[in-house]
């Protein structure tokens, strides 16, 4: 509490000219905001760069002034200009004992530098020292830098201290320590393979923030090897149940949804652990069903959680009640006036494409999405219809695909649609007459965009017949082909 009061006093000094920004800096911000063109803005920033280059090397600069110069350097880089001449001064500021200056220095270096920058070596010792500080705010600042700047070569230098901080009394430090270890895992999995067990322990941390942060590295680990973490299924289900039942502090609610981002991450993890595993999935059914019942469909975040529920249900061992609940939510998405919800419905239905009874149930609603003015939604719908097509619905779907193809002007995309229509017609055509009619439509509206082999195959089918000893059937086929071609030519000449 005393440390927070100190920061408060220092920040308050800003309004009194202590650690605040000068009128010169405020005028700079104002002039850039009022710039009428990019050229004018660049001229102002370039003048500022020249000013900073002169002033930052002056002797005996007061600390409050150097802090302002560092902030002005951040502003310069934020606007797309190079401020590398001042990086070393940001590094030096991380060494300062004053908390506000130190945090400013750490903020600057994490924004200025990347993990392979030559100056990184100059702050490793400072980070090591600050990780041992009695001031938890200093430790947090150092951990922020660890998450951004530590590379493969410097991981061993700080790893033992970061692991020790997992037991720190302050939850903010424990959370950042977990995040730092996750960063190490992403950068160099082999360097932290011996401390992976710590993630298992921290998922049971008393603080929901620490637990939530631990879900991220565990998700990555489970993605690589789910079998090793099957024993955690009951723990994950228990945590998710506590979240759904609103046992977490109210601070974790978002738009009246209990810890939705933790719910989403847990559902992703359960989807991996329950995939093809009936025993593991059975532990999940009740809590996933509760989410379907309790989720608020009127909010975006509620719909996001429901979407993740559908993805989870599609991945774990099938359960009829959950599949029905998922189908009901998909129907609501598809009937919505919102393009975003329709898109979610299309994508969610794509997750359940292996369940033909659910796909058929929503076929007409999906086809109607091809009439939507949103191009992204139409493309997503087209991809789903392609996956849904079979012998019983090929006529309806391909006809609508051709209508969709006619409505677009992008030749590259039109070529793709024509190719898919031909592929589906060849694979699922209910009869040769329909196949010929469909091919003629494709040629009429896609023309040279269609592969020449398709025309060759169509002519060969017409010439050779259906390959049976039935001359009348072959004659009927050829007659139908001629009639269709005549109709196509008539329509083309009518256009001229």
Angle between helices 339-351 and 300-315 (to 10 degrees): 10
pLDDT band at 492 (very low <50, low <70, confident <90, very high): very low
CB 334 within 8 A of CB 362: yes
Find the mean pLDDT for residues 166-187. 96
Joined together, the tokens standing for residue 21 give 């920004």
Which residue is associated with the tokens 């000068």?
A: 22
CB 319 within 8 A of CB 285: yes
Percent of the chain with pLDDT over 70: 87
Distance CA 126, CA 128 (A): 5
pLDDT at 321 over 90: yes
pLDDT at 454 (0 to 100): 67
pLDDT at 456 (0 to 100): 66
254 DSSP β-pair partners: 257
Which position has the higher pLDDT, 406 or 476? Answer: 406
Write phi, then psi, for 246 (nearest 5 degrees).
60, 40
Going from the C-alpha of 77 to that of each of 42, 252, 405, 431, the distances in angstroms are 12, 34, 46, 66
Give pLDDT tens digits for 44-87. Answer: 999 999 999 999 999 999 999 999 999 999 999 999 999 999 99
pLDDT band at 431 (very low <50, low <70, confident <90, very high): confident
pLDDT at 260 (0 to 100): 96
Annotate 314-353 with b (16+ C-beta within 10 A) or e (fewer). Answer: bbbeebeebbebbbebbbebbebeeeebbbbbbbbbbbbe
Q: What angle do CA 311, 313, 314 make, to 5 degrees?
A: 65
Q: What angle do CA 13, 18, 19 make, to 5 degrees?
A: 85
pLDDT at 274 over 70: yes
pLDDT at 444 over 50: yes
pLDDT at 485 (0 to 100): 55
Distance CA 295, CA 243 (A): 12
258 DSSP β-pair partners: 253
pLDDT at 325 (0 to 100): 94
CB 410 within 8 A of CB 418: no
Among positive and negative, which fits the CA dihedral 185, 191, 196, 199?
negative
Joined together, the tokens standing for residue 170 give 């302050």
Distance CA 267, CA 312 (A): 6
CB 338 within 8 A of CB 346: no
Give pLDDT tens digits for 357-405. Answer: 888 888 889 998 988 889 999 999 999 999 999 998 999 999 999 999 9
Joined together, the tokens standing for residue 336 give 């919505």
pLDDT band at 354 (very low <50, low <70, confident <90, very high): confident
CB 433 within 8 A of CB 474: no
Give pLDDT tens digits for 181-222. Answer: 999 999 999 888 888 899 999 999 999 999 999 999 999 999
DSSP 13-79: HHTTTSSS--HHHHHHHHHHHT-SSHHHHHHHHHHHHHHHHHHTTSTT--HHHHHHHHHHHHHHHHT
pLDDT band at 239 (very low <50, low <70, confident <90, very high): very high
pLDDT band at 490 (very low <50, low <70, confident <90, very high): low
CB 317 within 8 A of CB 300: no
| Collapsed DSSP state (helix, strand, coil) of residue 316 | strand
Q: Which of 42-56, 323-337, 409-423 has the lowest mean pLDDT?
A: 409-423
What mean pLDDT, rounded, does the chain reach?
87
Which residue is associated with the tokens 């201290």?
A: 161
Residue 275, burial from CB neighbour count under 10 angstroms (0-12, 13-18, 19+): middle
Which position has the higher pLDDT, 8 or 247? Answer: 247
DSSP-assigned letter for residue 354: T
DSSP-assigned letter for residue 165: G
Which residue is associated with the tokens 């997503």?
A: 380
Q: What is the dihedral of CA 355, 360, 364, 365, to 10 degrees?
A: -30
Query: How many C-beta atoms lie closer than 10 Å to residue 436's C-beta?
Result: 23
Give pLDDT tens digits for 87-144. Answer: 999 999 999 999 999 999 999 999 999 999 999 999 999 999 999 999 999 999 999 9
pLDDT at 489 over 60: no
Among positive and negative, which fits the CA dihedral 385, 391, 392, 396?
positive
DSSP 232-289: GHHHHHHHHHHHHTT-S-GGGEETTEESHHHHHHHHHHHHHHHBT-HHHHHHHHHHHH
DSSP 366-396: HHHGGGSS-HHHHHHHHHHHHHH--TTTHHH
pLDDT at 455 (0 to 100): 65
Distance CA 168, CA 105 (A): 24
Find the mean pLDDT for residues 259-282. 96
């Amino acid at each position: 509490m005393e440390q927070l009061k100190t920061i408060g006093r220092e920040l308050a000094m800003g309004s009194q000219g202590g650690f605040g920004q000068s009128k010169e800096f405020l005028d700079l911000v104002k002039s850039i905001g009022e710039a009428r063109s990019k050229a004018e803005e660049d001229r102002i920033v370039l003048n500022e760069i020249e000013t900073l280059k002169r002033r930052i090397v002056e002797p005996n600069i007061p600390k409050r002034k150097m802090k302002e110069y560092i902030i002005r350097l951040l502003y310069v880089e934020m606007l797309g200009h190079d401020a590398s001449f001042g990086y070393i001064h940001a590094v030096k500021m991380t060494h300062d004992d004053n908390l506000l200056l130190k945090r400013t220095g750490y903020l600057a270096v994490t924004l200025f530098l990347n993990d392979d920058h030559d100056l990184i070596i100059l702050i490793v010792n400072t980070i090591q020292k600050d990780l041992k500080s009695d001031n938890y705010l200093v430790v947090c600042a150092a951990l922020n830098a660890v998450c951004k700047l530590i590379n493969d070569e410097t991981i061993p230098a700080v790893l033992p201290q970061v692991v020790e901080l997992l037991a720190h009394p302050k939850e903010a430090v424990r959370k950042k320590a977990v995040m730092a270890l996750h960063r190490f895992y992403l950068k160099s999995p082999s360097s932290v393979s011996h401390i992976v067990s710590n993630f298992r322990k921290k998922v049971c941390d008393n603080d929901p923030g620490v637990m939530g942060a631990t879900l991220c590295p565990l998700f990555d680990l489970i993605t690589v090897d789910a079998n090793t973490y099957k024993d955690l299924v009951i723990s994950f289900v228990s945590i998710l149940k506590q979240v759904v039942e609103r046992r977490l502090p109210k601070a974790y609610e978002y738009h009246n949804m209990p810890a939705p981002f933790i719910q989403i991450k847990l559902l992703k993890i359960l989807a991996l652990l329950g995939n093809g595993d009936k025993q593991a999935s059975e532990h999940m059914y009740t809590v996933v069903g509760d989410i379907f019942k309790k989720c608020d469909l009127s909010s975006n975040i509620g719909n996001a959680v429901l979407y993740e529920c559908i993805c989870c249900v599609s991945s774990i061992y099938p359960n009829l009640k959950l599949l029905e609940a998922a189908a009901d939510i998909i129907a609501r998405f598809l009937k919505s006036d919102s393009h975003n919800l329709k898109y979610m419905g299309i994508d969610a239905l794509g997750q359940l494409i292996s369940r033909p009874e659910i796909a058929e149930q929503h076929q007409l609603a999906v086809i109607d999405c091809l009439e939507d003015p949103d191009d992204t939604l139409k493309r997503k719908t087209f991809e789903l219809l392609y996956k849904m097509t079979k012998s019983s619905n090929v006529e309806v779907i391909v006809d609508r695909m051709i209508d969709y193809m006619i409505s677009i002007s992008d030749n590259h995309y039109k070529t793709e649609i024509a190719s898919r229509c031909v592929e589906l017609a060849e694979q699922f055509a209910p009869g040769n007459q329909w196949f010929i009619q469909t091919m003629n439509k494709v040629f009429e509206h896609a023309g040279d965009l269609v592969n020449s082999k398709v025309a060759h195959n169509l002519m060969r089918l017409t010439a050779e017949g259906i390959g049976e000893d039935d001359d009348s059937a072959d004659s009927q086929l050829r007659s139908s082909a001629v009639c269709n071609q005549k109709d196509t030519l008539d329509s083309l000449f009518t256009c001229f």
